[in-house]
Chains A and B, each alone.
Chain A
Amino acid sequence: MTSGSNPQRRPDGAALVIALIMAGIAAIIFWQTSIMRLPVHQARVGPQVFPYAIATGLFLLALGTAVSAWRGSFPARPRENYGPVLWIVGGLLGQILLVSSLGFSLASGVLVACTAKAFGRGPMWFSFLCGAVFAFIVWFIFARGLQLSLPAGPLERLIP
């Protein structure tokens, strides 16, 4: 990864979007910090100084990123297929939304099934089963052995 490995040196659209997002975050930090209600007696260097400094820095960095993006000097990126990424993000979302009702094991089965699918391993019902069984063993070790509080569902409640 060397800088400037993009031979065409065309403006890099995605990197420009990053610069925009950074500027947007800087603006949000400015705004949120400016509406803070401060106590009357406050130290000269109060809680606002650091956020303002960070927002200023982020804004300058956004400008630098924009220049860098315009000159196309971001490292070349391989063409990527977003399918697997979406499968994994979907699997994580599924686990997050299901874990409180189904418990750790079954929800993690969904995660494992989607992740295995992202890496091209199927069928999904099989990886779901493997994942759920493995997660159940892990749940037992951590929740019972190490006293970690992990969400329990119908499956976990089978063990008293």
Chain B
Amino acid sequence: MDTFGLLAAGFAAALQWQNLIYAFIGVTLGTAVGVLPGIGPALTVALLLPVTYRLDPAGSLIMFAGIYYGGMYGGSTTSILLNTPGESASIVTALEGNKMARKGRGGPALATAAIGSFVAGLIATLAMAFVAPWLVRIAISFGPADYFALMVLAFVTVSAAFGDSALRGVTALFIGLGLGVIGIDLQTGQARLAFGIPDLLDGIEVTTLAVALFAIGETLVIAAAGNLDDEVVAVKGSIWMTLEDWKRSWPAWLRGTFIGFPIGAMPAGGAEIGTFFSYAAERRLTKHPEEFGEGAIEGVAGPEAANNASAAGTLMPLLTLGLPTTATAAIMLAGFQQFGLQPGPLLFANNASLVWALIASLLVANFMLLVLNLPLIGLWVRLLTIPKPWLYSGILLFATLGTLGANGAMSGSLGPIRFSFELMMLLGFGILGYVLRRFGYPIAPVVIGLILGPLAEQQLRRALAISQGDPSVLVHSPLAIGLYVIAAAAVLVPLYFRLRGKGEVFSQLAADED
């Protein structure tokens, strides 16, 4: 079947009424949680994963698609009205959007963000639908050595290339890789670093780690920083965009989409770079340069479109190569794994109907978000004003709920008291997340290291088993060599700029949250 036929079949599945309900619940929950201050898309997806445990794979992934896009949208609402971007991808949106909101143009800012996200999501998801099968055909011919090189590239770009210190980025990655070794080695059945604790034999759950680092770590940081109350800017005046707004927005949406999608789709980390490029492009092309920094609508429209386009783009390496390049994608990979599905070229071959239902649901969710968000803006604004004590109590409550729901075995004991070992790990990793944040370590590399480390090891050992231990197999294919060259460039170029004192640019590109 060609792409059109497969997509049509996907829509037939996605438009079944129960799947529509799943998508609706997904976008609503995703927006509601994503809009809360301090919660980025990665944490939104991690917190809501347990909701999907009891559904069938298709329903669960469809709800997941809604949560993903809803979380992305919610994040932009927060940064426009609150000026405390929950994630690095929204920093640029906050730059102009918050200024617009302060000038009483919060409505049009939210509208251009919502419509821009819709346009970008639509184009980027369709682009993914047409490019992905082509990429799958190439990926089928990849050998283990090529996959290993791809993963090395992802490791390098996620940890070393961006952010303000390569040392701390790589350290964060190695913490993740080290955690990934824990458990039974799949090829020999040997326990590694389990210290005789049965709970560790299955390895460390990605969701437990992500929820702990993002939710508990963040809560501790906010609590320790003292009570700084953020000011929520009320939405005044009309929420509709004027004709002038439309004229200035639509080229920015399209440019943002075409900048964001390829960057997200590349098998390398740092998806929010697209928003910075888009902002720079809008700034250069605008007819109203005096408005930039004071609330220029292009400065919201472009980056928001770029943000959503790269979010859709991120799904491409995830679905076709099984390669997560953001923390959010890493958690989605964990979501697939809970159903025994391993994303990659074989998923397209063996579970085509599932993959295409997912892609169709992304389009459906995108449409629902457009219809849902603008009329409900008053509700989202109210969520922003939840007092911090209740907000963070709620975040911790749901963090522990999700962990208990995933693995509620009371397997630990302290004297007569039985407790959940998984919750204890949640607490431990939460404290780790607090320390990492306090000392300026990025979080995303830890999560990606945990999920991608075992996959990289598997490919490495497979490659070396085929070559009977000859390590030169790793650089036999031109593809692998090319990937290593790009990886080396990704480390050396920023290093060069940093040594010349121009590190600021790269520290702005820090991939902190997702």
Contact = CB atoms under 8 A, between A and B. Distances in A.
B414 interface: yes
B440 interface: yes
B472 interface: no
A11 interface: no
B178 A47 contact: no
A49 B219 CA distance: 37
A37 B157 CA distance: 36
Nearest to A32: B193
B410 A151 contact: yes
A89 interface: yes
Contact of B174 (A37, A54, A80, A84): A54
Interface residues of A, number: 75
B141 interface: no
Nearest to B187: A47
A116 interface: yes
A88 B405 contact: no
A142 interface: yes
Contacts of B51: 146
B405 A127 contact: no
Given A47-B187, A96-B427, A88 B439 contact: no
Nearest to B226: A81
Contacts of B226: 81, 84
A37 B171 CA distance: 29
A150 B171 contact: no
A32 B414 CA distance: 25
B397 A85 contact: no
Contacts of A50: 181, 453, 457, 460
Nearest to B410: A100
10 contacts: A15-B439, A37-B190, A38-B188, A47-B192, A78-B225, A116-B393, A127-B393, A142-B401, A149-B408, A150-B408
Interface of A: 1-3, 14-15, 18, 22, 25, 29, 32-33, 36-39, 42-47, 49-51, 54-55, 57-58, 61, 64-65, 68, 74-75, 77-78, 80-82, 84-85, 87-89, 91-93, 95-97, 99-101, 104, 108, 111-112, 115-116, 118-121, 127, 131, 134-135, 138, 142, 146-151
Given A54-B178, A138-B398, A146-B54, 8 more contacts: A50-B457, A61-B167, A96-B419, A104-B401, A111-B400, A115-B219, A135-B397, A147-B54
